[in-house]
Amino acid sequence: MMSSEIRVRVCSSGDEEALALIGQATFLETFAGVLAGSNILAHCARAHSVECYRSWLADSRYKLWLAEISPGNAPIGYMVVSPAELPLADISLRDLELKRIYVFSRFQGNGLGRRLLQEAIAEARIRKAERLLLGVYVRNDAAIGFYTRMGFCKLGYRKFNMGGQKCDDYVMGLTL
């Protein structure tokens, strides 16, 4: 068997197609069998479009990372840090949001999620953010457990529109 190496790199213009593909694929993999397929597809068509990622890559307030495996540099995960847009009464311009972090299940459990999250925390500290916030589906026990182990705590709730289906999310945060 060929040995492989996973690298994490900051994205730039030209990565939008890879980001859209990995965004759609990991979202589908995570929620197939949990949420309605038609809603997942509608959500992915809008929220994981090439245009969406292109606009984020062009916006200096956003930072995106790709995890790639070699040989071949195929994308296996990604992450987005953005301005915070979550329904908290005390939200501030000093907060950042971990908008997306997904890794194919086949590559989970080897520290890649932790590595990505540590990059997000480092970025938030560089930007002098007070908190790193995120929204997570209330039934995604694996993700909630991961974030809790990484020091995040539940701060509130939100309704998340996933392709026309209303889903309940926890809003979690890490004080920096």
Report yes or no: 35 and 165 within 8 Å, Cβ to Cβ. yes
Nearest to 156 by CA among 168, 141, 145, 146: 168
pLDDT recorded at residue 162: 86
- Give residue 3's pLDDT band: very low, low, confident or very high (50, 70, 90): low
Report yes or no: 23 and 77 within 8 Å, Cβ to Cβ. no
131-137: strand order across its sheet: 5-10, 63-70, 74-83, 95-103, 131-137, 165-175, 153-162
Please give the Cα distance from 122 to 116 (Å, whole number): 10
pLDDT digits (tens, 9 = 90+) for 62-77: 999 999 999 899 999 9
Q: Decide if pLDDT at 1 tops 60.
A: no
Domains of the chain: which residue ranges?
5-175
C-alpha atoms less than 13 angstroms from C-alpha of 19 in its C-beta half-sphere: 28
Please give the Cα distance from 129 to 152 (Å, whole number): 15
Whole-model pTM: value is 0.93
Q: In this structure, which topology does domain 5-175 adopt according to CATH?
A: Aminopeptidase (3.40.630)
Please give the Cα distance from 169 to 143 (Å, whole number): 12
pLDDT recorded at residue 123: 97
Q: Decide if pLDDT at 2 tops 80.
A: no
